[in-house]
Amino acid sequence: MQTDTLIKMANQIGDFFEAEPNQAQAQKDIANHLNKFWTKDMRNQIAAHVQTSQGVGLHAQVIAAIAAHLNP
């Protein structure tokens, strides 16, 4: 899948949880959403993007969520 598509989707998810007052919780929620609804390939692809390209295009909160909580 196009990484751009995944970036757009991940950022949309991040945007929803931005209003969550507890930011640590927001990061968990973002990652949890990806773990529950994205296929393994899609998760691996976005994780690789964070690792190899510093997650360029992703919102900071989403990068942090992926780095800390995404299931491989």
Partner 1 sequence: MDDIKYTTHSHSVNKYDPEKDYGTPKKTSEKLVSLEIDGVTVSVPEGTSIMHAAQLSGVTVPKLCATDSLEAFGSCRLCLVEIEGRKGYPASCTTPVAEGIKVHTQTGKLADVRRGVMELYISDHPLDCLTCAANGDCELQDMAGAVGLREVRYGYEGENHLKAEKDESNPYFTFDPSKCIVCSRCVRACEETQGTFALTIEGRGFGSKVSAGNQLFMDSECVSCGACVQACPTATLMEKTVIDMGTPEHKVTTTCAYCGVGCSFNAEMKGEEVVRMSPNKDGGANHGHSCVKGRFAWGYATHKDRITTPMIRKSIHDEWQIVGWDEAIDYAASEIKRIEAKYGKDAMGGITSSRCTNEEVYVTQKLVRAVFGTNNVDTCARVCHSPTGYGLKQTIGESAGTQTFDSVMKSDVIMIIGANPTDGHPVFASQMKRRLREGAKLIIADPRAIDLVENSPHIRADYHLNLRPGTNVALISAIAHVVVTEGLVKEDFVKERCEWDSFVAWRDFVAKPENSPEAMEETIGVSATTMRAAARMFATNGNGAIYYGLGVTEHSQGSTMVMGIANLAMATGNVGREGVGINPLRGQNNVQGSCDMGSMPHEYPGYRHVSDPMAKALFEAAWGRPLSIEPGLRIPNMLDLAGEGRFKALYCVGEDIAQSDPNTQHVTHALESMECVIVQDLFLNETAMYAHVFFPGASFLEKSGTFTNAERRISPVRRVMAPKNIGKPELKEAGMEDWEITAKLSAALGYEMHYKHASEIMDEIAALTPTFKGVSFKKLDELGSIQWPCDDANPAGTPTMHIDQFVRGKGKFFITQYIPTTEKVNAKYPLILTTGRILSQYNVGAQTRRTANVAWHAEDVVEIHPHDASERGIREGDWIGINSRSGETVLRATLTERVQPGVIYTTFHHPESGANVITTDNGDWATNCPEFKVTAVQVTRVNQLSDWQKEYKTFAEAQIAYTGKTSDKKQKQPA
The nearest distance, CB 28 to partner 1, in angstroms, is 15
Nearest-angstrom CA–CA distance, 28 and 34: 10
Contact 33, 70 (CB under 8 A): no
Interface map 10-49 toward partner 1 (x if CB under 8 A): --xx-xx-xxxx-----------x-xxxxxxxx-------
| Cβ distance to partner 1 smaller for residue 12 or 54 | 12
Nearest-5° Cα angle at 56, 41 to 10: 50
Contact residues: partner 1, CB under 8 A: 1-2, 5, 9, 12-13, 15-16, 18-21, 33, 35-42
